[in-house]
Chain A
Amino acid sequence: MAVGVRYLAGMRGRDDSRRARPTAHELARYESLFAARTRGMKSSAMREMMALTERPEVISLAGGLPDTSTFAPELYAQLMAKVAAESTARALQYGPTEGMAATVACVVEVMAAEGTHVDPAEVIVTTGGQQVIDLVCKALIDPGDVIVAEAPTYPGAVPTFTAYQADVEQIEIDSDGMPIDALEQTLDRLQEQGRRPKFIYTIPNFQNPGGVTMSLARRRRLVEVARERELLVLEDNPYGLLRYEGEPLPTLHALGAQSASGPGRSGASDLVIYLGTFSKILAPGLRLGWAVAPRPVLEKLNLGKQGADLCSSPVTQTFVAAYFAERDARGQPAWVGYVQRLKDLYRTRRDTMLEALQEHLGGRAGWTTPAGGLFVWATLDGGIDTTDLLARSEGVAFVPGRAAYVDGRSGSSSMRLNFAGVTDENIREGVRRIGRTMGGDTGLLGTLSATASSPAPASAPSEPAATSAAPSSPAPASAPSEPAATSAAPSSPAPANAPSPAGDAPEPLADVVALPRRDAPDPARPVRRRRDR
């Protein structure tokens, strides 16, 4: 077979006269230019798979999206016209780094609506809430510094933490949010190692992705712990006003301010950096969020923002100010009415999702019952890997739980489901498809696992269609996490006659990101490049 074979050894430089193209040399050059932190930034196979779900025929429960179709087009046009006509020069000009005064006033108004009273001087307007996470890391994190976060945590925070080379400690949450005794144990353990976290990152309300809410007792205790140990808390609260039932709980910022008042204390929160956003109560396309922070931190955030983008868009800031000035027929602020309409819509969709879960995954999975927000977190029985399930699933997308863990491995049996940005019929059909796919998986697993202890009767093929019985199979590979307490959903079954998927064109998954790892890179390795393929 091997006749006349010629081999090329490592010879170089044939025909050097040709122009040099990006070659090994050039690549090595780039490699030597890239900052060490870029090693933590990488694409992942999961990202690739998520990209494939962005097709029209796929029902996406994966997004982190509010439903922007509910905003009245006429009002949008009217406000933009107003901004254009009345604020031309201001809207088109650079603005102050900390934000325009009129926009800051809106921030103060939104926070007051949640019972948190802040001094406008402590506010900085940012380009989305995401920028707050980035700026806080920029101000506080040196490589190797510790951040304590919840497990699971906001998937979009993970690449930011990783990019700053933080060492992230994740604390498993339950139905009441982060258990503070577990937090204290972690803090003690770190202390023994001579380490102290730079901040504790928490999403107390309707957590993303867990859907759970931190109890009042835990909020109080967290503030106490932070005060005792002089730690900063980054309170990420995008959904606080989207509560569908129950009484609102005070923000950590408000509790921190309470605990700070007293002789010799300012009354301002010196423990909590608060993160808010207009994305969920108004529109993410505005790219406007904010931080409220203790003054010394605020100064650093401001400096960091100057370097990042000088200021957030005055066009959208002016838009927000114009919107907040709007009054409805009864003289109420228009934004309050809009949030109320969103709440009514999302509440219905949440209930639809909980019903669909009960109908299609009942007895085979557990899930959280969020009192607000955008997400349900479901955990499948039988150790089924949700990343694999996504690969197998036909016509439905969700966020595999692994994306919410910094190690990229835990949470493998869980998934995040968005109900807010999806129509009722697509919610029902999407969950039905998940159930059907899972039925295929458990069927196969049951068939294979049955013989792990005793030989299977060869004549008993499993029923692949979505049936109920989950096998008592051994859990494979990584242990599935059970972060959130699960509870039975309302029992009235939804009609199963889901129509074919339509509408709700899937959007790119803005907050679904790579699965970073905190593995230390090996700078000693001589060569040369990363693998593509």
Chain B
Amino acid sequence: MNAARRVAVLKGGGSLERTVSLRSGARVEHALERLGHEVIALDAGPELIARLRECDPDVAFVALHGRDGEDGTVQGLLELIGVPYTGSGPAACMRSTDKALAKYLMRDAGIPTPAFTAFKESAVRDLGVAAALEDIERTLAFPLVVKPASQGSALGVKFARSRDELPGAIVGALSYDRKIVIERYVKGRDLAVSVLACPREADARNAAAEPLAMPVVEAIPREEEFYNYESRYEIGMTTFVCPAELPAKTAELAQQIALQTYRLLGCHGVARVDLMLDSHTDELSVLETNVVPGLTETSLLPLAADAAGIDFDELIARILESADTVR
């Protein structure tokens, strides 16, 4: 079914997730080779466009995480130079990667997401947002999570338990992005639902791929303490269970919400939606969506796909096909 193709694997880049991206990319390359494709590995840097022109691939496999690779920049450039690519288009990347935009879209569409506000550094500097800290306290209530709006490193995620800690948390998060989201902290279980396009094998060309929700993964942090919030995002501080031990109804609802989110943001091919299950109310809410989920040995998407009976090569084959279907 697959003709051999020239595939450029885009990886690395200059984001805080460079190392993970290099590992994702290396694994993708091996899988593509096993699938019989010709693989060109490209570390995204100042030579990227020139290298792409030079090697003239049939398709680009985007294995870049974080800045540039996941925020629509690379996708837009690939469209500009006419190279088909895997995964979501520029608009969906921008909607997903900008957590502030994604949360406003979800709120307006009725998809549950923790109460929040969002603003840029200029709001602090030029618009006197300081005078609204009381309103933040009143409407969101402590403890609060302050995070850079664009996806990035765990380092930027700050926790504020009280009014005193809020300014430092805001300035800290603003170090990683010009825009931040301040979100009510939801105590509960960390869940992730990966969504994968399921090509109709008969007429895959130009047919909208139907998205499929993978089994729910639960991330169990090794520490529960508030002050250690950052460590929940640290490598090695979390173990994962898939399928998550959840009531069938809850798991199904999580998958349904993930699919709604995927569609709302206009994702294509693949995405991972991270959710919280509130331990008090048992309600699900969406934290964020990753349009280029990690593909390393220890990433969540391959784990979920495996639990669904899709091995890694098949997963890569499916993502590769997303380059050919209409976004």
What residues of chain A have their CB less than 8 Å away from a CB belonging to chain B? 1-2, 4-15, 18-24, 27, 39, 42-46, 48-49, 51-52, 55, 383-385, 387-389, 391-392, 441, 443-445, 447-452, 455-456, 458-459, 461-462, 464, 473-477, 517, 519, 521-522, 525-533
Contact = CB atoms under 8 A, between A and B. Distances in A.
A388 B175 contact: yes
B173 to A, nearest CB: 8
A530 B298 contact: yes
Contacts of B237: 517, 519, 530-531
The 8 lowest CB-CB distance pairs between A and B, nearest first, are A476-B168, A533-B294, A458-B128, A448-B167, A392-B175, A14-B309, A42-B236, A388-B175
Interface residues of B, number: 88
8 contacts: A8-B212, A15-B314, A46-B155, A391-B176, A444-B170, A451-B133, A525-B239, A533-B296
Interface in B194-228: 198, 210, 212-215, 219-220, 222-223, 227
B168 A445 contact: yes
Contacts, number: 239
B20 interface: yes
B159 to A, nearest CB: 8
Contacts of A389: 175
B210 A445 contact: no
A529 B303 contact: yes
B166 interface: yes
A5 B253 CA distance: 12
Nearest to A517: B231
Nearest to A476: B168
Given A391-B153, A449-B130, A456-B128, 11 more contacts: A7-B255, A15-B314, A27-B298, A444-B174, A447-B124, A474-B168, A477-B158, A525-B220, A526-B241, A527-B242, A531-B219
A531 B163 CA distance: 31
Interface in B110-163: 121, 124-131, 133, 153-156, 158-159, 163
A474 B302 CA distance: 44
Given A444-B124, A477-B227, A531 B240 contact: yes
Contacts of A23: 302, 306, 311-312
B259 A2 contact: yes
Interface stretch (B11-19, B47-55, B83-91, B99-107): B11-19
A388 B241 contact: no
B282 interface: no
A6 B209 CA distance: 12
Contact of A8 (B154, B174, B214, B223): B214
Nearest to A391: B175
A526 B238 CA distance: 12
A20 B31 CA distance: 12
Given A4-B210, A462-B125, A531-B240, A451 B131 contact: yes
A136 to B, nearest CB: 25
A532 B299 contact: yes
Contacts of B236: 39, 42-43, 530-531
B215 A8 contact: yes
Contacts of A49: 16, 153, 155
Given A5-B259, A441-B171, A21 B311 contact: yes
B171 A529 contact: no
B310 to A, nearest CB: 8
B235 A44 contact: yes
A368 B303 CA distance: 49
B168 A383 contact: yes
B300 interface: yes
Nearest to B159: A477
Contacts of A1: 260, 263-264
A55 B312 CA distance: 34
The winner among B256, B263, B311 for most chain A CB atoms within 10 A is B311
A43 B14 contact: no
The winner among B20, B154, B212, B235 for most chain A CB atoms within 10 A is B235
Nearest to B15: A52
Contacts of A449: 130, 167
A527 B299 CA distance: 14
B33 interface: no
B58 interface: no
B239 A530 contact: yes
Given A451-B130, A533-B299, A388 B215 contact: no
Interface string B33-63: 0100000000000000000000000000000
A8 B171 contact: no
A473 B309 contact: no
A533 to B, nearest CB: 3
A45 B155 contact: yes
A45 B147 CA distance: 15
A526 B169 CA distance: 35
A44 B308 CA distance: 30
A473 B167 contact: yes
A45 B239 contact: no
Contacts of B242: 10, 24, 527-528
A447 B238 CA distance: 36
Contacts of B235: 42-45, 530-532
A61 B15 CA distance: 21
Contacts of A522: 222
Nearest to A530: B236
Contact of A45 (B121, B128, B233, B303): B233
B172 interface: yes
A44 B235 CA distance: 6
